[in-house]
């Protein structure tokens, strides 16, 4: 599979799933634009490392996905893109009546509205080329719910809907839009929760992972960032030309329950 000559923008890609997706796209030959809201030496260092490792052009562009204008500016600064992966996301856990309004607003803005802005900015260029791939990183929580994650679940269900509408608006123009719905993926963010969970439940690492964290994931195995990246590369391949407006679950069976 070669994506040589294509440019991919991955939002929220200085860690976790975003970096994993960017890495798999670079491995497949695409030029990549990494992004987050920070502008640190390490962020630019990640771009240099990827470029060296895979021999593709890689840039880091700072833009805060909380702000619509910066979402649109990211696409403009990158000079458009062939592949857009909307991945940036945050989480907050609280009961609805205690849920801070600023957290609700930030989650809706970063996890959902940012994809509206980047998609709106990227589509004209994709239409001009007659080719484009938009991959939205949703979640098993885009298809099912859990208590105390109201904003996250509303945003992830929203991005599944946005993916369908985007697909319909560009159907037949060489552009597809789909949502990947991961279950639990072992990212640094998830890894960091393991020691606290071990303490809270008085369990060893393997037991807390299997019985607490992966209780709803029938495989009892985390998905990996490489698997999410590989699914993204598949959605950019010719085999996926007619796959549009749908969701692909990478969740060890969670949503089959």
Between 40 and 199, CB nearer to ligand NAD:
40
Instruction: Lay out the site mask for ligand NAD across 143-182 (x = CB under 6 A, - = otherwise).
Output: ---------------------------------------x
Determine, following the binding rule CB under 6 A, whether residue 12 of this chain makes contact with ligand NAD: yes
- The reply on whether position 18 binds ligand NAD by CB under 6 A is yes
Closest CA to 246 of 170, 173, 163: 163
Task: Please tell me whether residue 87 binds ligand NAD under the rule CB under 6 A.
Answer: yes
Counting residues that bind ligand NAD (by CB under 6 A) gives 28
Binding to ligand NAD by residue 185, rule CB under 6 A? yes
Q: Which of 54, 60, 152, 184 is catalytic?
A: 152
CA distances from 13 to 16, 60, 224 (A): 7, 9, 15
Q: From the DSSP assignment, how many helices (H) and strands (E) are in the chain?
A: 10, 7
Task: List 32's β-bridge partners, or say none.
Answer: 8, 58
Based on the residue annotation, tell me whether 152 is a catalytic residue of this protein: yes
Contacting residue, 119, 139, 163, 217, with ligand NAD by CB under 6 A = 139
Whether 14 and 46 have beta carbons less than 8 Å apart is answered as yes
Contact with ligand NAD (CB under 6 A) among 51, 66, 94, 154: 66
Rg (Cα) of the chain, in Å, rounded?
Answer: 18
Q: Does residue 37 touch ligand NAD according to CB under 6 A?
A: yes
Give me the least distance between CB of 194 and ligand NAD, in Å please.
12
Tell me how far apart the alpha carbons of residues 82 and 240 are, in angstroms, rounded to a whole number: 15
- Residue 89 binds ligand NAD, judged by CB under 6 A: yes
Tell me if 17 contacts ligand NAD by CB under 6 A.
yes
Q: Which residues contact 209 (CB under 8 A, 6 or more apart)?
A: 194, 222
Cα gap 213→252, rounded to integer Å = 13
Q: Which segment (7-15, 25-33, 45-53, 230-238) binds ligand NAD by CB under 6 A? A: 7-15
User: Please, what sign has the CA dihedral across residues 233, 166, 179, 139?
Assistant: positive
Residue with structure tokens 């930030």? 106
Is 88 a binding residue for ligand NAD by CB under 6 A? The answer is: yes
Can you tell me which of 25, 110, 135, 170 binds ligand NAD, judged by CB under 6 A? 110
The single residue among 189, 194, 213, 243 that binds ligand NAD, judged by CB under 6 A, is 189
Residue with tokens 């008085």: 202
- Nearer Cβ to ligand NAD (189/240): 189
Residues 6+ apart with CB under 8 A from 232: 21, 24, 25, 85, 135, 180
Q: Where are the beta strands (DSSP E) in 94-142?
A: 132-137
Strands 83-86 and 7-10: parallel
Which residue among 27, 30, 32, 36 contacts ligand NAD (CB under 6 A)?
A: 36
Residues that are catalytic: 152
Question: Which residues contribute to the site for ligand NAD (CB under 6 A)?
Answer: 11-18, 36-37, 64-66, 87-90, 110-111, 137, 139, 182, 184-185, 187-190
């Amino acid at each position: 599979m070669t994506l040589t000559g294509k440019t991919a923008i991955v939002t929220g890609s200085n860690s976790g799933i975003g970096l994993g997706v960017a890495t798999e796209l670079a491995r497949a030959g695409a030029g990549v634009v990494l992004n987050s809201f920070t502008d640190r030496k390490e962020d630019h260092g990640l771009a240099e490392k990827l470029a060296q490792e895979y021999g593709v052009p890689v840039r880091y562009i700072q833009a805060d996905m909380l702000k619509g204008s910066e979402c649109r500016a990211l696409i403009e600064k990158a000079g458009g893109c062939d592949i857009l992966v909307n991945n940036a996301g945050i989480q907050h856990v609280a009961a609805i009546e205690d849920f801070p309004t600023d957290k609700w607003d930030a989650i809706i803005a970063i996890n959902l509205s940012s994809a509206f802005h980047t998609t709106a900015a990227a589509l004209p260029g994709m239409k001009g080329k007659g080719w484009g791939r938009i991959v939205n990183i949703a979640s098993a929580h885009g298809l099912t719910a859990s208590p105390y994650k109201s904003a996250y679940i509303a945003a992830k269900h929203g991005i599944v809907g946005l993916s369908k509408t985007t697909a319909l608006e560009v159907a037949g123009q060489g552009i597809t839009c789909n949502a990947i719905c991961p279950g639990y993926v072992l990212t640094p963010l998830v890894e960091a929760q393991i020691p606290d969970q071990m303490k809270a439940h008085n369990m060893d690492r393997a037991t807390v992972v299997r019985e607490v964290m992966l209780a709803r994931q029938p495989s009892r195995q985390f998905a990996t960032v490489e698997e999410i990246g590989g699914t993204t590369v598949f959605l950019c391949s010719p085999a996926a030309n007619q796959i549009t407006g749908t969701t692909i679950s990478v969740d060890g069976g969670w949503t089959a329950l």
